[in-house]
Copies of this chain bind each other. A is one copy, B any other.
Amino acid sequence: MPGITGTTRLFAVLGDPVDQVRAPELLNPLFDRLGRDAVLFPVHATPQHLAGIVRGLCRVGNLDGLLVTVPHKIEICRFADELSHAARISGCANALRREPGGRWLADNFDGAGFVRGLRGRGHDVTGRRVALVGAGGAGAAIAAALLDAGVGHLTIGDLDRARLDHVHTRLDRLWPGRVTCETAPRLDGVQFAVNATPLGLRPEDPLPFEPSALAPDCVVADIIMKPRETRLLRTAAELGHPVHHGNHMLDEQLELYRGFFHLDDAPLTR
């Protein structure tokens, strides 16, 4: 990577922990390829110190953007001056940029990244029936992106009834009649079944849903990246289902960040 100088523009990725983030290894080589004098570095921010750290970073004159990961995706919305459509619907954000007037806009690319990932693997969701399990931040963002992409009908499952109702209200207002929410996910007749819960991070986790209940050609997707082969995907593959891995969502977000942060614009003359 070319050297950092006094003119280098800054981007930070915030998390707790932060050791595991992949963004620096993805974004810094992209900055280089695009000839941007910019660097992305990891920022370890505990929940207790998040407010002070974010307020401080947002005042740094040469800092142009923030990426946000676990556990700050919900809390970070408080510090934005403006929320995108996706951030408003999901109630969480994973990217913030400084607008020309100095305001900070928060957006959420989990959903768009997931849908782009599906498309990139040849899976078109237009007009299809989809079951999504998990109505947390990532689940809500993916639900909104799926509906935005033209899914025919979406069933969302989550054991937390209050959370489910909250998500349903927001989605049904924008896409009336196309969303059903149930504490027990309905899997019959769907062409895609998606896990957006954390179940599968640990080997002893139960399955988020039962792949044997799905039609044989139903695509089974997971958003968990580590392990790559979750118990859900292994079980689904053994039953002959096409499977879709978690890494595609993040890989596609890289392209979305490129647009969001205007990385293809001509470098500023300073």
Residues in chain A within 8 A of chain B (CB atoms):
1, 3-8, 10, 13, 15-22, 24-25, 28-29, 39-46, 49, 52-57, 59-63, 270
Distance A25 CA – B22 CA, assembled complex (angstroms): 25
Contact of A24 among B5, B15, B45 (CB under 8 A): B5
Give the residues in chain B near A40, CB-CB below 8 Å. Answer: 4
Contact of A46 among B41, B45, B52, B61 (CB under 8 A): B61
Distance A44 CA – B63 CA, assembled complex (angstroms): 8
This chain's copy number in the assembly: 2
Give the residues in chain B near A61, CB-CB below 8 Å. Answer: 16, 18, 44-46, 49
Distance A57 CA – B49 CA, assembled complex (angstroms): 10
- The answer to whether A41 touches B1 (Cβ under 8 A) is no
Distance A59 CA – B54 CA, assembled complex (angstroms): 10
Contact of A42 among B4, B19, B29, B52 (CB under 8 A): B4
Closest to A39 in B: B41
Give the residues in chain B near A7, CB-CB below 8 Å. Answer: 19, 42
